[in-house]
Structure 1
Amino acid sequence: MQELVDRYGVLLVFVNVLALSLGLPVPAMPTLILVGAGVAMQADPLWLPLAGVLGVSVLASLIGDSVWFYAGRRYGNRTLQSLCRLSLSRDTCMKRTERFYGRFGIRILSVAKFIPGLSMVSVPLAGAMQVRLPPFLRYDGLGAALWATLGLGLGVVFARQVETVIDTLSQLGTGAGVVVGTLLAAYVGWRWWRRRSLLKSLEAARIDPPELDALVRAGQPPVVFDIRAPGFRDVDPYVIPGAMFADERHLDGILATYPREAKIVIYCACPDEVSAAWMAARLREAGFRDVLPLKGGIDAWRAAGYGVDRLGG
């Protein structure tokens, strides 16, 4: 095992970090820790080989992130929706990124890799927001360097403990790879099953775009809440006619403004995102009797051929 780390460690870091930055659900931090420990146990002085591994990690991260940056710049919201579908935590990836990016802008890339799911969406969002390439590379490169430095540093500090783990895995032989692969597959499968079960449980408690349109045409329009954050409304500056902006974290204004018998429809940024369903549940707990998320969000509304209003138009 140690021989493999010594011989292929740099290549392993490049491939692993590149795969992660391209959106594959493969953790790269353990690889950085493992390679950092391998360098600490073999090299003297440490700084030169560590600097090389760090440079390779940053390069791989920038390559992968640049793919999504340019995809976001060219395809805008469609890229964000695609990434949302790839995420194992798509119920939170969009909403968390909306809030962080809306508050910090492009600077969020310097810490995004430390927050699960944030880097995956903030990079194409920066492209969709037409951020210039130099500041993107500056902040994304800084974030990649800080993240890789942490992983390699942990490997150096805990080199002896990592060596013990490596020796144990070496004794297992090929069984070690089977164990690691099985655990990774089990983790991904559990996340997928949990997500699928949650969406299935919510399926019956939603309203379809044709149903919403029928209510509007019948002269019984419900209250429609758009709970997308400002950053995503900048990328996709359209709303369902009559919709009002709302923040699911601040329900006091809604509770004070609307009667409990009002019919409310909620939509958010990502198709099948749980944020709208979660807000609907909160409003039901507060006494509202008829609250439903819009199935598929604003994208399903447009796909069905219904009109939208442009913000500021």
Structure 2
Amino acid sequence: MQQLVEVFGVWLVFVNVLALSLGLPVPALPTLILVGAGIQLHADPAWPALLGVLAVSISASLLGDAAWYYAGRRYGMRTLQSLCRLSLSRDSCMKQTERFYSRFGVRVLTVAKFVPGLSMVSVPLAGAMQASLPRFLRYDGIGAALWASLGLALGAIFARQVEQVIDILSQLGGGTVAVLLIGLTAYIGYRWWRRRSLFKMLETQRVEVAELQSHLQTSPLPLLLDIRAPGLRDVDPFIIPGAEFADERKLEPILAAHPRDTRIVIYCACPNEVSAAWMAAQLRRHGFTNVLPLRGGIDAWRAAGFPVVAIPPGNASLPANAEASADA
């Protein structure tokens, strides 16, 4: 076990946690558990060394998170969308994070590291939402401290059990590493296959921005739904003219208010229009015959040079008499 502590030393903890904070798929929590167990078994007293490792872990976490915070502050939605494209759960990563953030604000950072996928997007979202640096560092630091303390505490409490597991793995030799790598590869492959299956299921026809522009010049007008979550509309406070806000989890108002032959166009802020495509599929199941996601969402609309409408601050409904703008 002493050799284990030397291998997974303080500097490796720093590098491991920093890499995780920067978005690399590395298992930092197991490293903290192993180091916590090693310190508990071989340091007397153990608490000074544990506090030292805790400080190193918090510093590494804040350093990596600060990079994403400033990226979100400078580049906004582009940073969030890029991160969600890297996620194996891109259909939910942005929506889930934004809903947590809308409810708790920057305080969500205190628990973000405990929720898979939440930490990856909540940090740049805090920057995009213009959270002040002192508040960001305060809550992110608390979250980093709680997360690292959990790992070190688990290692210290179950030090003997951890040592027994390591001894068993050592006796099994290199085959154990191969089995673990195969298992990790299989897990990532399964998640990737699930994402591909979802995209294939939702790979229906999209409406192009030029087509939507033409539809908006005809009568009757299509029902245009903006299903971005409220916090993301705060980051990008513009909508396509004529759009109404909707929640893909709450279809009842749409089902009650519109006939099934209504032409509906849906847009979101998620990669590959996944949320919009999912909502379109749900509406089709309820009998709507002409519902399509907008390819590229509001970003493609804006990039094509079509006007957007500013949302009055704090207004969660369709803005009346809002001023059109050609750019954000």
TM-score (norm 1): 0.93
CA contact (8 A) 2:225 2:265 kept: yes
Higher relative contact order (CA 8 A, sep 6+): 1
CA distance 1:211–1:26, shift in 2 (3 Å):
farther
C-alpha distance in 2, partners of 1:203/1:300? Answer: 18
C-alpha distance in 2, partners of 1:176/1:2? Answer: 20
**Corresponding residue of 1:258:** 258
**Corresponding residue of 1:27:** 27
Q: Secondary structure at the match of 2:216?
A: helix
Report whether the alignment pairs 1:45 with 2:45: yes
What are the Cα deviations for residues 186-221 of structure 1, in whole angstroms up to 9, with x where unaligned?
322322232123213322243332332332244453
Q: Any unmatched runs of 5+ in structure 2?
A: 313-322, 324-328
**Corresponding residue of 1:271:** 271
CA contact (8 A) 1:271 1:295 kept: no
Mean Cα deviation higher: 234-243 or 283-292: 283-292
CA contact (8 A) 1:22 1:64 kept: yes
C-alpha distance in 2, partners of 1:303/1:76? Answer: 16
**Corresponding residue of 1:83:** 83
RMSD of aligned Cα (Å): 1.9
**Corresponding residue of 1:247:** 247
* 1:287 Cα deviation after fit: 2.5
| Aligned AA (1:116) | P
CA distance 1:103–1:269, shift in 2 (3 Å):
same
| Aligned AA (1:54) | L
**Corresponding residue of 2:302:** 302
CA distance 1:150–1:18, shift in 2 (3 Å):
same
| Aligned AA (1:32) | L
Q: Any unmatched runs of 5+ in structure 1?
A: none
C-alpha distance in 1, partners of 2:132/2:227? Answer: 28
| Aligned AA (1:38) | G
Q: Secondary structure at the match of 1:272?
A: helix
Query: For residues 37-76 of structure 1, what are the structure 2 equivalents within 5 Å?
Result: 37-76=37-76
What are the Cα deviations for residues 5-33 of structure 1, in whole angstroms up to 9, with x where unaligned?
33433222212211111112223222222
What are the Cα deviations for residues 241-300 of structure 1, in whole angstroms up to 9, with x where unaligned?
211101122222222211121121211112214222222222222222222222222222
C-alpha distance in 2, partners of 1:179/1:3? Answer: 23
CA distance 1:204–1:249, shift in 2 (3 Å):
closer
* 1:40 Cα deviation after fit: 1.8
Report whether the alignment pairs 1:210 with 2:246: no
CA distance 1:2–1:221, shift in 2 (3 Å):
farther
Mean Cα deviation higher: 242-251 or 203-212: 203-212
Query: For residues 105-254 of structure 1, what are the structure 2 equivalents within 5 Å?
Result: 105-254=105-254
CA distance 1:8–1:206, shift in 2 (3 Å):
same
C-alpha distance in 1, partners of 2:76/2:276? Answer: 22
C-alpha distance in 1, partners of 2:182/2:11? Answer: 23
CA distance 1:63–1:172, shift in 2 (3 Å):
same
Q: Secondary structure at the match of 2:265?
A: strand
| Aligned AA (2:159) | A
CA contact (8 A) 1:272 1:297 kept: no
TM-score (norm 2): 0.89
